[in-house]
A and B are shown apart, each in its own frame.
Chain A
Amino acid sequence: MPIAPATALLLLFLAGPIGYCVWIAFTNTQLTGSSSSDFVGFANFRRAFADDNFRNAVQLTLAFTFLSSIVGQNTLGLALAGLMRAASRPVRTVTGALVITAWVLPEIVAAFLLYAFFRREGTLNAILDQLHLPSQNWLFTLPILAVSFANVWRGTAFSMLIYSAALAEIPQDITEAAEVDGASGPRRLWHITLPMIRRSIGTNLMLNTLSTLSVFGLIWAMTRGGPGNRSQTLPVFMYDQAFVNSLIGYGTAVALLLLLVGSLFSIVYLRLMKVEV
């Protein structure tokens, strides 16, 4: 039974806490105040679905994920990977280094950089001023767009790396054959490249979506979910409930619902990956 120690460790440190979380989600445990902790069934979940702020957080989370992960990181990553294949070596090196720098920066450092970029006295407004365009406090007027942009800036490198590897795998002769047959750039992309890297797209989308769904530090440092609730995504909402309002039970229930959203996305992507062309 050589696998027994590993199983025991996994049960103890992985399944244990997860099971405990699931249990907490069905109780009214609080961090402070009432010290009793009772089983309340689905009350926390019912409360979530009746809570306007929860619904708001779900919508914002979906918008944030769609904008920054599916549209932003994914498309931009593919475009960069494609362009870099065609570029000269120095350009490739410099671009790659820049993009990857954004990726390896700690989340909180990246968040402060982007806070400094978007804030009223920030870099973006300084540039707009130079161009005689009206400036504004972006974190106040368009908070969800600002944090989405921040997530794109930070996370595109990952997609770029995945797609670079995938594009390199496409046999040269197929592309050449298509060229000889007179297929234009967009047609080659649509009929040759995309189908051939389909699995990479699926994997990339899944990983991107899951990591974007759980983005907390970036949003917390840039806007704290504000102004009002206008950038309060599910992780921020969960934190507010569990640690600001001390409602650990409710916060954990929201965390489980977030897990559910993540699994739904995963199932969809896994299906997409299976479909044969």
Chain B
Amino acid sequence: MRPTAPLILAAAVTVLAAGSLTACSSGSGSDPDTVKVAYNRSTDNKIRFKDAYIESVKKQFEKEHPGKKIKLIPIQAADNDYATKVQQMMRSPKTAPDLVYEDTFRINSDIKAGYLRPLDAYLAKWDTWSQFVDTAKAAAKAEDGKTYGVPDGTDTRGLWYNKKIFAKAGLPTDWQPKNWEEVLDAARAVKKKVPGVIPLNVYTGKAPGEAAVMQGFEMLLYGTGDDPLYDPGAKKWVAGGQGFRDALGFVETVYGEKLGPDPSDALDPNVGTHVATEWFPEGKLAISLDGSWMGQNWINEGPKAWPEWKTELAQTPMPTQNGQAPGKVSMSGGWTWAIPQKAKNPDLAWEFVKTMQTPQNASKWDVVGAQIAVREDVAKDPAYLNSMPGIEFFTGLVQYTHYRPALPVYPQVSTAIGEAMEKVTTGDGSPESAAKEYDEQLKTLVDGAVVTK
């Protein structure tokens, strides 16, 4: 039998690979003077500000702590893959880093899996902690009441629009839409009077992942009523009710009336990069429902230098569905620094967190990362407030903002929402049928812990 030869070869290769893998992982990590720091490097090779920032803090730390070393482990991957990689690293003491950068919406899952250790003992002795705003402190607090991460910034979301295109379409350049209909009407006006321009971008579908679910869908959904995704009182998930269908209806209108990008572009996993580096700078897009960090793409060190954005673009809050109180809606996320349960040098890792969180470093990070401050001292820092146009606007949205239900099952719920969005975007289903399928999926995901609103 010929095929056995390749089989034996494959087996031999597997054995060799397994052997060399184990050889690699042993031996590293037991050095008591080294802190291993895992973080996500941008998949865009032109974006290296985070690396540069951490590198500079590393130098400062090593100077202040002679004999101690920081070993950076940058992981260049999309957000989902980064989380998977870090989770796999945290499973074993051989590979667990001493410090990891964690998205707030995943932190609770990792706490529940036992990957992280509580920081309360450290925080109690750290006077800087009182500078953090309460919502941010809550972001990394688990159901057991302990805090597992130090947040270093957040973000808010609103409508970005191009004033030049608005002028051509006869729309006011100090645009203040009061409800969804006015947003759609502006897009319709652009479509009619400025052909060749994409009137309104709303991220959608499975491929853009959380970008579509959070910037797109939840910005709509949270404008339809209170706690539309998860009922914290009943501790149950909310089935796709009227608000859910209305939000899907908005998406259907955008793509059905061809107010949005062509579906094949909208469902491209790289659509976010296209918006930031092509559509907006080239004047091909009028409005985008997007995040506070957009400006970071266009500052000089960014991937696409575009100095005119400061005058050409403006921001306005996303209105609620019918203009109901409080009239505006925003979603927030953000990242935290956390110490894995199996870290070898947790105390030294905490020292590094403290170095990263000196007022100067914290402010510098929010500026270079185009983050919204979560600390009162940083939020007052003129260097932060003057760092970029729009930063005061987006900081002002913090009072209207919502955090996602940071529960372990959320990432799967998010996938289900992405699928529902994709169905109405491609016209494969109506908002009603997509919401119904979401309900069914939700029931299996959360074991029937569902309420209907």
Contact = CB atoms under 8 A, between A and B. Distances in A.
Interface in B1-55: 2-3, 11, 14-15, 18
B422 A13 contact: no
A122 to B, nearest CB: 12
B264 A140 contact: yes
Given A9-B15, A34-B408, A206-B3, A224 B269 contact: yes
Contacts, number: 84
Contacts of B11: 10, 13-14
Contacts of A35: 112-114
Contacts of B141: none
Interface string A5-38: 0000110011000000000000000111111000
A115 to B, nearest CB: 11
> Interface SS of chain B: helix, strand, loop or mixed?
helix
Contact of B15 (A13, A32, A47): A13
A41 interface: no
Contact of A243 (B84, B114, B408): B84
B430 interface: no
Contact of A226 (B83, B114, B207): B207
A33 B109 contact: yes
B436 to A, nearest CB: 13
Nearest to B91: A31
Contacts of A140: 263-264, 267
B412 interface: yes
A188 B13 CA distance: 43
Given A14-B11, A246-B109, A32 B87 contact: yes
B311 interface: no
A224 B269 CA distance: 9
Contacts of B3: 203, 206-207
A32 B419 CA distance: 22
Contacts of B113: 30-35
Contact of B422 (A9, A33, A227): A227
Given A226-B207, A228-B206, A32 B267 contact: no
B84 A31 contact: yes
Interface in A105-139: 120, 137, 139
B428 A34 contact: no
A33 B408 contact: yes
B67 to A, nearest CB: 35
Contact of B88 (A31, A34, A224, A227): A31
B106 A32 contact: yes
B426 interface: yes
Nearest to A52: B437
19 contacts: A9-B15, A13-B15, A14-B15, A32-B109, A33-B112, A33-B113, A34-B113, A137-B264, A139-B264, A140-B264, A141-B264, A227-B207, A227-B426, A243-B80, A243-B81, A245-B411, A245-B412, A246-B87, A246-B411
3 residue pairs, one from A and one from B, having the closest CB atoms? A33-B408, A140-B264, A137-B264
Given A47-B444, A120-B264, A227-B426, 6 more contacts: A30-B113, A31-B87, A33-B112, A33-B409, A228-B206, A246-B411
